[in-house]
Copies of this chain bind each other. A is one copy, B any other.
Amino acid sequence: MEALDTSVSPPARVAEMDEGISIDELRLAARNHGMPLEALRYDVTPVGLHYVLTHYDIPYVDVETWHLEIGGEVERPLTLGLDDVRSRERVTRRVTLECAGNGRATLTPRPVSQPWVDEAVGTAEWTGTPLAPLLREAGLHPSAVDVAFTGADHGVERGVEQTYQRGLPLAEAMRDDVLLVYGMNGQPLPPQHGAPLRLLVPGWYGMAQVKWLADVRVLDAPFDGYQNSTAYRLKQDPDEPGEPVTRIRPKALLQPPGFPDFQTRTRIVERGTHLLTGRAWSGWGQATRVDVSVDGGRTWHEARLGPPPDQFEWRSWQWSWDAHMQGQVDLCVRASDAEGNVQPVEQMWNRQGVANNHVQRVTVVVR
C-alpha cells in the first residue's frame, strides 16, 4: 500500500505523564466496550455485557456465500460451509475471555491504544466444533509447525495495512478444547463476536480468538505477521523484539458493593457487614486462592472460593467485610493460580500495556 501520513496511522507511543485521554482513544472506548463490573454477578455474561474489542470494523459477512478454507501444509485442503461446520461434533464450553490490553489506561505512563480500565472480560457458553479433527482430516504434513488464522476484518494499524491474522503453535491448535465457534449463550454467534464463525483458544488472551474466521492455514515456519511479531509483545523499549503474549495471567475482580456516584463511580456503602463477591481466573491453571484487602493493599484476607469451575472458566469467591469505620477506603482483590502465579499489587509496566494484571482498586465511602 502507499505510505500513510502518521496523522492517519500514528506509530505506537506512550502518553506524556500529564496527558489526558485523547479523542482518538475515546473514540475506541465509545465503540468497544467492557463488561460493567456489576455483571460479575452472572456466572455467564449476557450478550451485550461481555467485553468486545474490534481492531478495525465489524465486517459484513454474507453467510450464504461464506466458507472456511483449511489449507497450507496439509494433504487435502478443505472448504467448508457453515452447515458443514454445524453438522460436525458439537461441543459447548464455558470459557472466560479477557482482552490482552485490559487495564491499559490505568498504567503510568499510559500506552496509547484502546484505553481499557478494568472491564475487558466476560464468560460465555461457546458452542462449536473442535478444530483438531478437521486438521487431522485435512492431513497434516510433517513440516507443520504453526497455524495462521485469518478473519474478514481489514484495516491499518501503525502504518501496516492488514487483514486480521494471528498464528498459533500447532500444539495449541491441536488441543481438544480449541473450537470453531458458531454459538454463544445458546444463540447464534452475534456479529460483534465474530459471526458466522470464530476461533476459541481457551486460556489465551483475546487476540488469539480470531473472529469472522475465513481461513486456517498450516505453516511450515512460525507465523511472523503483524499481530504476532509486532503487536502483542511484552517489551520495555520500542526496538527490542519482546516476548509474545499468550495465556491470561491470574486476575481477580470485585463486584463493586453499594451504589455508585454517576461521575466518579466511587461507591457508597452503609456501615455494617457486606458480603464482597467477585470472580477470579487464570489461563495458566485454575484460580486456587483469592485475597481481599480493605486498606488499599497493605493487609490481605483470604476469601472463600466457590466450587471449581470448568478449566478456563472464572471462579466465584466471597468474603465478608465488616465495614465498621466511616470514611473512604480502597478495596483490592488478588488471585493466585494452580501454577503458583500470583497477581502483583503494583503494575508491571510494558510498552503496549498488554497482559497487565495489577490489582483493581474500588474506592468506597463508608457512611
Contact = CB atoms under 8 A, between A and B. Distances in A.
A138 to B, nearest CB: 31
A24 B1 CA distance: 39
A321 interface: no
A30 B261 contact: no
Interface of A: 1-2, 4-5, 7-10, 19-34, 36-39, 41, 46-50, 52, 54-58, 60, 105-106, 112-113, 115-117, 119, 154-158, 161, 187, 190-193, 256, 259-266, 268, 328, 365, 367
Residue of A4, A57, A262 with highest tally of chain B CB at under 10 A: A262
Main secondary structure of the interface of A (DSSP, over half): loop
26 contacts: A4-B261, A7-B266, A9-B263, A20-B22, A21-B25, A23-B105, A26-B105, A26-B115, A26-B117, A30-B34, A30-B117, A30-B119, A31-B33, A31-B34, A31-B119, A38-B57, A46-B192, A47-B48, A48-B190, A48-B193, A49-B190, A56-B259, A56-B262, A154-B259, A155-B261, A157-B261
B49 A192 contact: yes
B259 A155 contact: yes
Given A57-B259, A155-B262, 18 more contacts: A4-B268, A8-B264, A9-B262, A10-B263, A19-B20, A20-B21, A21-B23, A24-B264, A31-B36, A31-B37, A46-B191, A46-B192, A48-B48, A48-B50, A49-B58, A155-B260, A157-B262, A161-B268
B29 A58 contact: no
Nearest to A113: B263
Contact of A27 (B7, B56, B191, B265): B265
B31 A264 contact: no
A327 to B, nearest CB: 10
Nearest to A11: B263
A46 B190 contact: yes
Which of A1, A33, A49, A106 has the largest count of B CB atoms less than 10 A from its CB? Answer: A33
